[in-house]
Chains A and B, each alone.
Chain A
Amino acid sequence: MSILVNKETRLLIQGITGNEGLFHTEQMLNYKTNIVAGVTPGKGGDWVLNGKVPVFDSVQTAVEVTGANASVIFVPAKYVGDAIFEAVDAEIPLVVCITEGAPIQDMMRVKQYLSSRRTRLIGPNCPGLLTPGESKVGIIPGNIAIPGNIGVVSRSGTLTYEVLYALQQNGMGVSTCVGIGGDPVKGLNFVECLELFEADARTDAIVMIGEIGGNDEEKAANFISAEMTKPVVAFIAGISAPPGKRMGHAGALIEGSSGTAQSKIEALQSIGVKIARYPEEIPGIIAL
């Protein structure tokens, strides 16, 4: 068991012929991810990576021919909205959007559309998913995590890798790592991801990596307190961040008095979640 992706995942790559798309497709193939198709409008009929992956003009055709059940999106930001709509209309159950910089109103329209559909969206602006030893969907380096019983969920990219690496260095394995992304309007959120980990038989503990901006961590604290039996360890980035400045991620912005790292840490600590002061401290806290 694991969450969201596993050996059964039949992956389709939207934007497979772009630089990023092609590079990461190769990385995912090297990880033995089951990649069944790519989509680039206008390039249908081609094969990429030495004939390993067929390219289609549309997601609908790719799904009909290959039975793809998940899609990962690498298209440029201005096409992200359309790419997600296309995947949703082709009824792909899981869509993971790696692209950074999607216009927020586009994402609000996508989100509203998704509310009446069955597709689950991860991202945008996220590193994707990794179920070690089974499937890598996105850009998380495969060599920094080993299979195990810890679920990882994060709003960040390289900070997530830092945590995976620290776990690996301490011999701790991961069930699934989920990068939910750094944008204010996004698909899967902390609460939904924690819910999946709580229900997953292979996950025994969860590491949650949050950051300044919004109140998703506070909502997660409420959920953990009310619904969760498994232990959660958290790290919140941005304790030194000034208000009113967007710290790289569109979502990492302290507005007024809300969204500070301090308020998130307090909300989590008050319900018994242990907080790491820096990423390398996490393995030691889990071991306790």
Chain B
Amino acid sequence: MKLQEYQSKILFTMYGIPVPNGRIAESISEVKQISEELGGMVVIKAQVLTGGRGKAGGVRIAKTISEAEEYAGQILGNKINGLLVRKVLVDEIVSIDKEIYLSIANDRNTQKPVLMASSFGGMEIEEVSRNNPERIIKRVIDPLLGLRDYQLRDVAINIDLDRSYWQDFSNIINQLWKVYVDSDASLVEINPLVITSEKKLIALDAKIVLDDNALFRHPNLSDFRDKNAEPPTEIQGRKIGVSFIKMEGNIGCLVNGAGLAMATMDIIKELGGEAANFLDIGGGANAKKVEDSLRLILSDEKVKAILINVFGGITRCDEVARGILSAFKELQTKIPVVVRLVGTNDEEGLHLLEGSELIPAKSLHEAAAIAVRKAAEVAA
């Protein structure tokens, strides 16, 4: 789960990492009020979970209060990279001498946290990584020991930081490590961390990504979830207890298991079709879950055929078949549905489907081929 910049800055403030003075606003009048409090010169930043906000016009510097109102009007209620802006952060302007990149992230490669810093702050770190990889300093952190003081000095030296800033810099990294550990983050990033002309270090931007698996430990942070930032179908998926991602095609998919769900979408593509969604129904495909999932799939009007692929394994296929049948009795859809069941009691399960509108298939390949053909027929 990604936090908005303003939410990340709330956390930073709690840990004593300096951020610019500023507040969140949802209306032009609020922007005006905050701008007056901050003395006129402000930066207005759209709070949307997308990279490249600046390039897309979501970050504007206003020299006067009337300019602040004007820009707020242009940003609030409009879309940045396809996302509706409901809130803007209004921050004081900070004079910048130097920009630094700083982050701590889960590193899959070493299976440990990694501290990254660069004297090339303020630009996309991916770009720095491509063009000037030698300018990114990486230090692996022992997850049991935490950061060592020498590592902090080492990073400061390697990004050519003047000695007069070492103490402040170390404090900020230590606090950033605490934010990372305490909130179970997978990424905490300050880009840029600036040195102001008053020789102060300030986190101008803030990005935190939380580990969804650990949210149970942080009920207060779960409240930060921005329901508006997610497609409604994915929220509905979470509600009914399935993993759902909307795609562009017209063949709805209902599969048990994430890997098999991907493989099912892949074979649809291989055979010239396109999946309308990824849906992992998980273990225990009971009637209620099957019905809820089918409703979710059918809420997309583009869907022209549905492919149900359940590898029973220990789950009994006759039970799954009964679930599918009862779901269909409720739903009354005319869209062709291909069903493939494999596992314990699969013969019995397929037998139960006989006489219904459902189209049984023996193999994954056969099921996908039928679904692709049916979708094309219905679309034509």
Contacts and interface: CB of A to CB of B under 8 A. Distances in A.
A161 B111 contact: no
B184 A105 contact: yes
A161 B363 CA distance: 13
B217 A237 contact: no
Contacts of B143: 105, 108-109, 111-112
Interface stretch (B9-17, B32-40, B256-264, B296-304): B256-264
A160 B258 CA distance: 11
A59 to B, nearest CB: 20
B364 interface: yes
Instruction: State the majority secondary structure of interface residues on B.
Output: mixed
B380 interface: no
Interface in A70-92: 77-78
A262 B86 CA distance: 38
Contacts of B238: none
Contacts of A42: none
B247 A242 contact: yes
Interface stretch (B61-69, B72-80, B266-274): B266-274
A109 B111 CA distance: 9
Interface stretch (A47-55, A220-228, A273-281): A273-281
Nearest to B313: A141
Contacts of A38: none
Given A77-B213, A161-B311, A256-B126, A104 B106 contact: yes
Given A103-B214, A159-B257, A161-B313, A109 B144 contact: yes
Interface residues of B, number: 51
A109 B163 CA distance: 33
B275 interface: yes
A211 B259 contact: yes
Contacts of A29: none
B142 to A, nearest CB: 6
- Range for the number of chain A residues in contact with chain B: 35 or more
B236 interface: no
Given A103-B184, A158-B311, A108 B259 contact: no
Contacts of B363: 280
Contact of B257 (A158, A240, A280): A158
Contacts of B368: 278
Contact of A239 (B186, B211, B259, B266): B266
B274 to A, nearest CB: 8
A231 interface: no
Interface in B215-268: 216-217, 243, 245, 247, 255-263, 265-268
Task: Name which of A101, A158, A252 has the most chain B CB atoms within 10 A of its CB.
Answer: A158
A185 interface: yes
Nearest to B310: A158
A55 B270 CA distance: 50
Contact of B344 (A105, A139, A141, A248): A141
B280 interface: yes
B314 A141 contact: yes
Interface string B101-122: 0000010110111000000000
A209 interface: yes
Contact of A278 (B214, B263, B274, B344): B263
Contacts of A278: 263, 266-267, 270, 364-365, 368
Interface of B: 106, 108-109, 111-113, 126, 142-144, 181, 184, 186, 211-214, 216-217, 243, 245, 247, 255-263, 265-270, 274-275, 278, 280, 311, 313-314, 342-344, 363-365, 368
29 contacts: A27-B314, A101-B213, A104-B106, A104-B184, A105-B106, A108-B143, A109-B144, A112-B143, A141-B314, A141-B344, A144-B313, A144-B343, A154-B259, A155-B259, A156-B260, A162-B263, A182-B258, A209-B259, A240-B247, A240-B262, A240-B265, A241-B262, A241-B278, A245-B278, A247-B243, A250-B212, A252-B262, A261-B266, A280-B364
